[in-house]
Amino acid sequence: MEQELAGKVAFVTGASSGLGAHFARLLASRGAKVGIAARRQERLSDLVAEITAAGGTAHAVSLDVTDIAAIDPAIDAVEQALGPVDILINNSGVTVPNALHRITESEYDQVLDTNLKGAFFVAQSVAKRLMARKGEGRIVNISSTLAHRVIGQLSIYCMSKIAMDQMTKAMALEWARHGININALCPGYIETEMNADYWQTDAGKAFLSRFPRPRVGVPADLDGMLMVLAGPSGRFINGSIVSVDDGFAVGFK
């Protein structure tokens, strides 16, 4: 496999499961040293061991992105272990399914504080560091196809992700001249442990049957675009909101 990220340091939030763990493995396999963050430390330790056994380099830090004061020290620890961060995969995210009229303040805060506020301050911390050392950087905000369509029970999540798209454009506007490319990758439905059981239920099967093409993706379906946005071939891509969703956002059949 081509090592197009050799010499780079990447930082992946929400790397203890699902897409974040997958992205960390991918970036490491392409030569980047990878800092991985989340709340579940045991899972991160296992992932460090797995990446190391495969010949890569990884360092785990504990981080709850809703604890804004903890963000800088976590990235400091990654930089001390691996060197300055060049690439951020801003991936931590949660859904708290509920009907709009039942959403509580704490559910609202959990989704917005994780998916938007936490993501903002992680990106700001990485961007400030890049600006200080005049480094060229990449920020990939992991948004969602649900930024572009609303579906019942997930409305607060949808709101957080469309805000993340606008945040991406604002960051691109202000930070491009500092040598940083910021883009949003909007996955469609990808099977991870968060949703794997759902696709086996009657409701899951009925939902799937309405997709333009009734299938769920696998994490590797995102690899091509992730590597474009994080790697050298994305040099001229900035402020883009890129869907990789098998046409889900286009509409239901």
Ligand X SMILES: NC(=O)c1ccc[n+]([C@@H]2O[C@H](COP(=O)([O-])OP(=O)(O)OC[C@H]3O[C@@H](n4cnc5c(N)ncnc54)[C@H](OP(=O)(O)O)[C@@H]3O)[C@@H](O)[C@H]2O)c1
Point out the residues that are catalytic.
157
Rg of the chain over CA atoms, in angstroms?
A: 17
Name residues contacting ligand X, limited to 49-78 (CB under 6 A): 63-66
Window 210 to 249, contacts with ligand X (CB under 6 A): none
Minimal distance, residue 146 CB to ligand X, in Å: 7
CA gap 196, 220 in Å, rounded: 15
Residue pair 77/84 in contact by the 8 Å Cβ criterion: no
Beta bridge partners of 39: none
CB of 91 to ligand X, least distance (A): 5
142 touches ligand X by CB under 6 A: yes
Token pair 């400030």: residue: 128
Instruction: Specify the DSSP class assigned to residue 118.
Output: I
Q: Binding residue for ligand X (CB under 6 A) from 61, 85, 94, 172?
A: 94
Question: Is the separation of the CB atoms in 244 and 188 below 8 Å?
Answer: yes
* Residue 141 engages ligand X in binding (rule: CB under 6 A): no
CA gap 121, 69 in Å, rounded? 9
CB of 226 to ligand X, least distance (A): 11
Q: Which stretch binds ligand X (CB under 6 A): 27-35, 90-98, 123-131, 232-240?
A: 90-98
Residue 169 interacting with ligand X (CB under 6 A): no
Determine contact, residues 36/52, Cβ cutoff 8 Å: no
Where along the sequence are the contacts to ligand X (CB under 6 A)? 13-20, 38-40, 63-66, 91-94, 114, 142, 144, 187, 189-190, 192-195
